[in-house]
Amino acid sequence: MSVLADIYTVPQEHLDFRETIRQIAQERIAPRAAEIDERAEYPHDLRRLLAEQDILGLPFEEQHGGTGTGTLMLNMAVEEIAKADASTALILMVQELGTLPIKLHGSEELRARFLPRCATGEWSPAFALSEAEAGSDPGGMITHARQEGDEWVINGSKAWISNAGIADFYCVFAVTDREAGHSHGITAFVVEAERPGFSVGKLEHKLGIRASPTGTLAFEDVRVPAANVIGTVNEGFKVAMSTLDRSRLGVAAQALGIAQGATDHAAAYARERRQFGRSINEFQAIQFKLADMETSCAAARELLYQACARVDREDPELGKYSAMAKLFCSDTAMAVTVEAVQILGGYGFVKEYPVERMMRDAKITQIYEGTNEIQRLVIARTRR
Ligand code: COS
């Protein structure tokens, strides 16, 4: 491997755009965060704001109406939004996750049909891989599709789907060859939300990211044309895995944003809060906590940026690096937010301050798009 492969640079335009997004997030998104969390309300207004500001165009190439600015810029944006509100960051993350299968493996026709309308924010996508009995092991899915003439007929159900009921279309994975063996004989399809036989079931009541709907999907003889197959028939498992190799960086960036947001709040609080006649940030017990939190965020950011640069270069080790970034950033988010609550003391435990929400939001980053145990497995496999 060349030395260059370990280096990334952040162009000035990216830094300028990050500054713009930071301002929008702090001025327009942060003030809504507590309310949408409390009400478990999907923020349509904030989604429109992201679309108007071209932020939803970040996951897409210029030829498909996007900004063409790559994975690093996208995830710098995710971090800034997550600092203000993790649920709103998920809107941008799913805009990538739900379209990556098409972007990476779809026909030109599928790309032209779906990507430009996602880049403008007109359409929302979703990624439907998990099932009630197939989470860490998606190769054990039972949703299936059979071919009838020029159509595929899908039956089954999906679970834990972000954007359930919001999405205009779903990238759905189904078994198309039962004889092919575990994690094989699976095909990816685009299923538009208005297809007869498709329905959205119950939405979950969640600990965190409460302003983003998560739910089940049901497919009863849902017919899609052969043109809606993403990539090659029976090769859908690789479509899913290659998508997750990239989209996990969104989770890493979201986790980092939560961690940095909590650190910033805790530091500001420690300056203001007075006990024993002085600001609590004059006590070394608090200073050391804040120093460790800031250090963890900085280390997480370096790994995230390097992993993003590897995706942008199509580096052969991108899957390993994205798993490492997701693992490290999410564990950092959990540890840092627990410390932030501790620094705020009783105020950390109540909804008047944002750190309890950040602690609740952090937890899912250790779980979704592959649990951290799965990330360790993915990383370990590269060392065998
Ligand atoms: N990119 C492309 N292809 C991949 C791949 C990747 N990252 N990982 C595996 N594959 C291919 C393999 O090469 C193999 O193909 P061949 O037999 O043609 O060589 C095929 O996919 C099956 O691979 P494998 O046998 O490794 O599959 P497993 O069932 O053992 O999968 C893990 C293992 C754990 C990696 C997989 O199940 C996984 O990622 N689970 C977590 C899923 C997840 O993140 N769920 C969250 C919900 S989605 S939001």
User: Other CB atoms closer than 10 Å to residue 380's CB: what's the count?
Assistant: 11
Q: Measured from the CA of 130, which atom of ligand 1 is nearest?
A: 47
Q: How far is the CA of 370 from the centre of ligand 1 (A)?
A: 11
- Whole-angstrom distance, CA of residue 175 vs CA of residue 188: 9
DSSP secondary structure letter of residue 235: B
6: pLDDT strictly greater than 80 = no
- Asked if the model's pLDDT at residue 113 lies above 80, the reply is yes
Which residue, chain included where needed, has tokens 């940095």? 260
DSSP state of 179: G
3-class secondary-structure state, position 322? helix
Class of domain 3-119: mainly alpha
Q: What is the CATH number of domain 125-234?
A: 2.40.110.10
* pLDDT recorded at residue 1: 47
* Gap between the Cα atoms of 144 and 153, Å rounded: 8
pLDDT value at residue 164? 98
Q: Which residue's CA is the closest to the ligand 1 atom numbered 30?
A: 183
Domain-by-domain residue ranges, the chain?
3-119, 125-234, 238-381
State both tokens at 187. Answer: 């095909």
Positive or negative, the CA dihedral 337, 206, 82, 38 is negative
Nearest to 5 by CA among 323, 316, 327: 316
The reply to whether ligand 1 has any atom less than 6 angstroms from the CB of 183 is yes
3.40.50.10470, 1.20.140.10, 3.40.605.10, 1.10.150.120: which CATH number matches 238-381? 1.20.140.10
> 383 pLDDT band (50/70/90 cuts)?
confident
Q: Is 218 in the pocket of ligand 1 (CB under 6 A)?
A: no
291-334 tens-digit pLDDT: 999 999 999 999 999 999 999 999 999 999 999 999 999 999 99
Helices 44-52 and 30-39 sit at what angle, rounded to 10 degrees?
150
Sorting pLDDT into bands at 50, 70 and 90, what band is 123? very high
